[in-house]
Structure 1
Amino acid sequence: MNYLVCVLLIGVGATAVMDLWAIARKRLFGIPSLDYGLVGRWFAYLARGRFRHDAIATTPPIRGERLIGWTLHYLIGIAFATILLGIWGLTWVRHPTIWPALIVGIGTVAAPFLVMQPGMGAGIAASRTPRPAVARLQSLITHGIFGLGLYAAGWMTSFFYTP
């Protein structure tokens, strides 16, 4: 199995774990998940030269924004898996360990804090939301879960990986 296949399996697997967490979080705690249609809207407006919105929900919708958002969500997960394997290499896939996966997973919270939330009108690290500390904690937990997903997907991939 080559590098690209490992990255795809681990990135998609970790993102799916994060999505399962979002479903569980909604059912158990009533916490709504991120609307990936709004992520798609924000991304589609980048092509039109607009990075920042006062509130992305008030920006006019774009055709296909939900598909764009979900596709972007999984592509970002794959990109973050690329970072994991770029640093720790295919050796990590042979014998995955939890710490590299958690370091990358939790480290990826910088993307929403510094890029997506400001661009979508929530401010740096959700500073313009009604409860910034709660939003930040939820982001950290979700990205920690993504890190656990990287580990779980790496562990599953290790069964199929042949050097």
Structure 2
Amino acid sequence: MSERHVTFDMIVQAVGAVAGITHHEIMVAGRAGADERVHLRYACWWLASKMTSLGPSAVGRLSGGRDHTMVIHGQRRAEELRATSESFRLSTDALLGTLQALERAGLLRFAVTIDPLATARRVLSAPEREAVRVSTYEIVAMSRLIVEQADGDPSEPSTEETAHAA
């Protein structure tokens, strides 16, 4: 695979779908269920090393601003977990195989990981312009970042939002 179409966001979404939790829950640091979330993060970082051309620094930035050394440590821990935990190895193998099959079948359209902050900076750099060309994917990436940064459950609108929409 010389041309990479799998993005880090796709990897995190796939891992989250399998685990039944959101992107935000995988990447947030906290005490409740911390070991499971840490292992899911390690799985994301290991898959990123296999499926993307992103380096540890870029993966760290996309993981909520984590340091590249933490990503490298997580990738090594994922390798250790794959050697010692059959369930971890089977789940990461299944995810890797699924993403590779989707990539081979041409069902993945993204060619690069979208940086929502870079998109926002591009939009804000020319406030005098009437329009700035922004793709749907960039809008989704910016929206996801905003929702993830908001307090509360990002999957459910607040009562204030619901009342305002009505």
In the superposition, the TM-score normalised over structure 1's length comes to 0.32
In the superposition, the TM-score normalised over structure 2's length comes to 0.32
Work out which of the two has the higher radius of gyration on C-alpha atoms and give 1 or 2.
2
Higher helix fraction (1 or 2): 1
